[in-house]
Structure 1
Amino acid sequence: MIRFLFDRDTWQEVWDSMSKNKLRTVITMIGVWWGILLLIGLLGSARGMENSFNRLFGNFATNSVFIWGQSTSKPFKGFQEGRRVRLSLSDVRVVEQNVDGIEFVVPRNQTQGMVIRNFLSGTFNVAGDYPLLDAVQKKKLIYGRFINQNDIDDLKKVAVISEDIYKQLFEKDVQPVGELIRINGMNFTVIGVFEEGNVNMGPGSDIHIPFTTFQQIYNQGDEIGWIMVTGKPEYNIKQIELDAKLLLRNLNKIHPKDNRAFGSFNLGKEFAKVTGFLVGMQFLTWFVGIATLIAGVVAIGAILLIAVKERTKEIGVRRALGATPFEIKRQIVVEAVFLTMISGVLGIITGGWILIAMDSAFGQGDDATLVNASVSIGVVFAAMLILVTLGTLIGLIPAFKATSVKPIDALREE
């Protein structure tokens, strides 16, 4: 078989067969070319969307839910309807210890503050945070560092500010770390500047200060604004949310059926919807691409059937000269596989050019729709394997047709 593939006469016959009707050959190949081009283009676009989405949430623990207190809608145990619910640090400890599947519980506080540096000022969101926040909502630091445990323990007046504040309050190229800013009349030392992400889940924070410092300055005591609960990857974040809310209702003496007492936003649930959409899109892409490939390969089979009909006398001569049915079948299958492979390679090359063009048009900048739209080498090999398999199978149909006619009948064919 290997010697047959490297035989010059084999490929001369393939070329003669294709060149007898060039237009028909080209039209036949277009179907496979378009199928592989569509498959590569759609898969690359789906990967680009996935990369864009992953970049958007890349530094965020997506298996998370935000929970905050609101007002009760039902009276319960002597408390009237409309009671304001405030979460506390003791609630955080109980939730962390008693709800299965929790990886982190991050308490947070927030207010607005007038921030001044020299003669420049602005009003920004100021959040009291623990170092743990950086584990679940990673900050991309441009200068300095994030809050650490020493800042918490010593109630330090330090601040990590956003890039936007840095641009508003500092001159260009000024090193901000170690500089002082005034937040609501109190001096804070800047220890870091972070780049604002494309997405900010939960209330936006322009400035982060130590949680304990926030408590002391704003006289918060044990109360907190909201908690961010992050579940372990193998646990269902929806169930974690239900369990956490049930426990918080019991801790705060809230009616079991009061659904208004706590507000929440389940990032994990929303993230699952988008990932589900991406998986569905990839499945649809494979389905459409392979269906188009099959249609193109079937067209090749149909054209080869016509070619076999036209070459009936030639095949009869070869049979009369001693060519075996296997040799006839092998030649026709090689022609089918060759046509599909050439069409597939051209489709892959064209698809690659299209993905490069898409990346140049839609994949640049922070707001890129498609980030690195591409397909893996594995996908390319899989597509080529599918083509070779389909080409072989479809080539067997005209091959068997060619050998089904007796040599004497084939020689009589006009």
Structure 2
Amino acid sequence: MDIEEMTRHCLAGGTSDDECARRLQAQICSKKPRVSPEYALELAEAVITEVKNTTGLTGDLFAFEPSGVSMGEFGVGSRGAGDFFAHRQFPKIIKSTGTSVGVDEMDDAGAVEAGGRYIITTVDGMHSRLSDFPFLAGFHVTRATLRDVYVMGARPVALLSDIHVADDGDVAKIFDYTAGIAAVSEAMAVPLVTGSTLRIGGDMVLGSRMTGCVGAVGVADHLTARKSTAPGDVLLMTEGAGGGTIATAGLYSGFPEVVEETINLHFLRASEALLDAEVLTEIHSMTDVTNGGLRGDVYEMAETAGCRIVVDEAPLRSLINPAVRDMLDVLKIDHLGVSLDALLVVAPPEAAAEITRVVASAGVVMKEIGYVTEGPSDSKLIVDGEMQDFLPKFRESAYTPVKKVVDTHERDFDEMKACVERAADAAVEKKERIIKEYLSR
């Protein structure tokens, strides 16, 4: 419950200060039953004062140009067409900085060259629906950020964490979350070296909601970025049991037993084996099947590399953990549009057998699932011998009861894209004004 936002809406609607304070007092008492009505009213009045003091401020330092499109209705964070479009606005704001792999390439991590080697950095946010399951949140976000380092052909050397818990959240959450991070950290011998702990919204957000992220740093001599994908390559994919997304699907759809299937290090072990093998230098690119599932990842990879990627559906189902596959079938969740946390390797066909052998030595099954050809930057799917478009949907597959309800967009997508792009352009212009007016003195 964001009492600051509630107050802004209340006052903007023309409600009197006294009435707004009474409404806010009632909300505070409902969330904090141990506080007195007198304290709640005093807090409400203080919030009103702060909101009034910060309402109506103008200028670059205090206001932004709204897009008129909300995060939810555009699907930002939902790993679909809207999310991908929003992320493609970042390069125009950040601009080229001379990186080896930059944000414009939409890769799993960024890379800069230093001292003759590549330094890789990445960060992943914990799954928002794992707020009530801190250990799972910490475990899966750590595994996710390490995956993003490994698929760049890098060896992870350090982890960093951030955790925010709302005002009424139990302090134990920050410890359980850290324990989840530390479990992966210790198992993979990658130290957790620093972090930050804060409350969500300080005193303004009531409740126990938790959010956070884990970042990782790695080093590499040979990069396996998406842009290296080339016509003639084949696609190899490992088995996958999912991570935070599948755990969330299991928890909120009545399949808690499936969560255990996600507690493994198969992906990381397979990656370690490849890093130690000579065949690593023959691999062109790697990624993890996460962003909108295979639909999203191959589409993004094809666009970045400027070629066509063709995926054969036939071998895919056999690469999904049986318990996870059964749950997806029962819940009618498209396995091609949901995060499976499988390793996808793109390499010349002559290297495929050795790559598969090395991965098998780590106890992980890998199969060939497709190939790369010249042509337009798109992705195709072969189903029963017929080739069809293989595109990301507006959102990733709806994998919880709530997502099945909200998996729709009533506004015209092109109209929303234009609004979002204007907002990104406005941010670019503001950045340039701030640099000129404040930072060039």
TM-score for both structures, normalised by structure 1: 0.19
Question: Could you say which structure has the higher helix fraction?
Answer: 1
Relative contact order, higher structure (CA 8 A, sep 6+): 1
TM-score for both structures, normalised by structure 2: 0.19
